[in-house]
Structure 1
Amino acid sequence: MDWTLVVCKPKLPDGYSVQKSELDEQLTLGNQASVLNLPVFELVPHTAKLTALRDWMAAPRRRFQKMVVFVSPSALEMAMTHVTEWPADLMCGVMGRQSARLAQRMGIPRDHILAPSVDGGDDTEDSAGLLALMCRHFADKALEVLVCKGPRGRVDFPQKLSELGHDVDILEIYDRLEIQQSSVRLANLLTLGGRCVLWITSSETAEALDRQMSQMPDHQLLGFKNSATVLTTHNRITRRCKELGYARVVEIPTGIQSVNLWLKTNTTAMTGSSMTNPVSSQSANATAYVAQSQPNITQPAVNPWLVKLAFLLSLASMALVLLISFAGKNQIEKTRLAFGERIQKESTTLDLVREQMTQYDDLTRDLKTRFELLEEAQKEEASQRVSLEEVYNNLLASKTEVSLSEVDQLISIAKRQLYLLGNVNGAAVALGQAIDLLEKAEKPSLMNLRTALQTDLAAIKALPSDDLLKLAIALDSVINSVETMPSLAGADATTQTNLAKLNNPERIESEPAVAQDQTSTPTAGTAESSAPQFSWAGAWSFVKTVASTAWYDIQSLIEITKVDTPDVLLLSSRQEADVRNALRLSLLNARVTMLSRQGELLKSDLNRSLTLINTYFDTKNPQVERAVSVLNDINKIQVDLVLPELKATTSAYRLAVAGQQQKGSKP
């Protein structure tokens, strides 16, 4: 069959020709099919990001080893085109053998390249295989890793590296622009039909091509998807192509060599050696046999029936030979068709089984990797802690040791203020003093403790700063004044008197005037001026004061109290005591719920207390008004807050104490 290979790899700018030349060279050497380049995306490099890559490679390392990981050959070629020389202490990580060959061709030393399946390993040529290879090579070492990639994709790979304890930076060194194909080009692609072999290297390429082909007629597109062959390089791409409706999807290893091998294998299988038709040769042999079977008769006395019988036998033999040849050809054709259908079914079943086995293998490998990573993370954490403590203890041996006992006391005070008393300000002050103690500390464990204290202090300052202790003291004063609060059933006559004084300020003004008239004496230069003199204004003021005092005394004899429920006035002394006890109990419950930060119960207790006060007590009395004001102030605050647990501070303090004890135990 005459195949047409449609190459859908992304298009690089003209200055990047290493991959293109290698691809053209391999396609020319294969020479198994005609080639049609159909790039769906165009890659545009970011010059600023490539400059940042050079700076990162030239910077001194902070950990055991530095490594640059290229997620695709395009990222590798773009980066190496702008890098003049590969550093001697820098590792290069790629996803497979094709990228490894390209890295060597771009000037990276062989012993600096880390790629799965290069040295005969069984790791898959993808990010999972590179991750497993890095775990084996750097089991107890933390790396500085820079992942060079394009937009989108490969998101889980940097996350897994970070979970292993490596310092990971991500650099998107190029952008990807979709190339819009013309209708004529897409129509020519659909006309290829079963001769078309699409080579797709990413799920995004398959989606973009399918999106552009959706503008073509549905019957043509459906026929193309049922007859065309799609070559993919990963099970994720295979699943996506099957979801898009392609019927013939084949997963092959990465690289143009795998494409050439597939084309060569399928061309040989489909072409084969054509069977020769034996009818003409058998007819010629039969004719020659008849001609040879006739002797050179010179005697005219031969029986003619024998000649006729021989001729009939020859015709019958020829017919029999033709019949056998035709029947054999039909049987062979039927056998070939049946065998082809059986091979197709077996191939489909084998693909499904292979896909399931691949999924099971990936799941098993992932679980195994997770268990190994957990164990390695524990070992790495222990080794890192020991090594860091040794290094920093040697560097900072001459520094002044900060006492952790004062920090522990301040943390305990902050916890008591926060959880027992609900005093947010007190907890913030305690943590601030602890941070001041650690301000000049340079030890790593104490620096981590200071950072944890600052984090928890920020969380505490974000809370509302209601002083629950102050409100609790005010509530205690209200509880203590329940016995002395005047009730409506036993109200005295002072209420109306006080109201009369507040509503008639003339008495307040007149009293100082009288006092002034009585105490003031006229000044004169002679001794005779000190004698008492009669004054009509003073006499009138005195009479007015006496009359006003008498009128207030008369008013105080009668008390007028307005109540909404007359039954309240009929309470006995025992019932009044029960009301006071109920009010005291409700206020105590409110105090408990406020300190325990139970918002709903606090509002219920406060509303019940306010109802008892408004119903049974004189709300015009200043003492009662103060109690109502305190309860209303408490009712406005928000107590059901989610208090921070100071986990970061507690964990950092334990690490600091453990480091100090471990240092003290050393000889």
Structure 2
Amino acid sequence: MTQDTSQDSLAAVLQTPNRRFVPQTAVVLSSVALIATAGVWLYQQQAMEQFKLEVSRQLAANKTGSAEFNQQLANSAKLQEQFSAKLSLLEAKQAESLSQQQALNNMYEALTHNETHRALSEIEQILGFASQQLQLGGNVNGALLALSNIDQKLVQLNRPELISVRQSITRDIDTLKALPYVDVIGISAKLDSLISGLENLPLAIDGYRQAAPKIKESTSSTALLRFSDEIWHQLKQLIQIRRMDKPEAMLLSPEQSFFLRENIKLRLLNARTSLLLKDETSYRSGISAAQRYLEQYFDKKAPQTATSIATLKQLSSQDLVIKLPELGASLAAVRSARTVAERAKQ
């Protein structure tokens, strides 16, 4: 039974199928679809061709840009090499300049130290001389001038290690400026004026002398009467009685009055010399002696004599001795700076 069934199935398969009827509409739709597919394929082909052309164009542009970029890169590399060469040259020149600058600095330091050492030696000598003049001669103005010159020299040097020296110099200048002022020139001028005017001072005896009165002309016409009047006048001049508090002034002869004036001049000259030497004792002694001579032998009522005596009293009250400071601090500062400069030079 199974075999019969199998044979029926095979016969059914081998049997030619019956033709079915295909409608016309389906054919049309298939044709349209086929045409659309062909159109799409053609469009895709054209788009692909355009895309290929665009890609080729972009590739060509990229190749051109790449060549230009490579050229620019090569130029940049060349410029970089030139810049590196110039930079190396500048570095070499800078190193050479720094070396020269260092050499110049070393030379300047050496010259500066030598100049500082030389200036300090000169300053020490000036200070020593000014200190001697100040202590021995009392020359305050000279010491001030020397200290001012030293301060200007320190300003020109402008070295930091010399600040302490300049501070000491400034303190000594302020100390000297604060000292009482003695007008040596003015006092000397007054003494010279007294000496020159001494010849015109009247002596005490000159105040007691009276001019001889004129003889009145006699009304008598006879020569005998005129002769008798003259004789009588001469007899009255032989004896005169005067009161005088200082009779020794009347005993001066013309020669003695000359030596008196010269003695007073010598006293005043010695006083002027003592003034320059700051010898107050000799100065006051000479002024007092000249004042005593004027009061004793000269006419005090005369204006010239009174003025001279008043001037001598004023000069006798002048103080000459002033405690002068020492310049030891400035000298010590200069010597210390000089020692430091010598060590730095070594």
- Normalised by the shorter chain, which TM-score bucket? 0.3 to 0.5
Question: Normalising by the residue count of structure 1, what TM-score does the alignment of the two structures yield?
Answer: 0.26
Question: Normalising by the residue count of structure 2, what TM-score does the alignment of the two structures yield?
Answer: 0.46
Return the structure number with greater strand share: 1
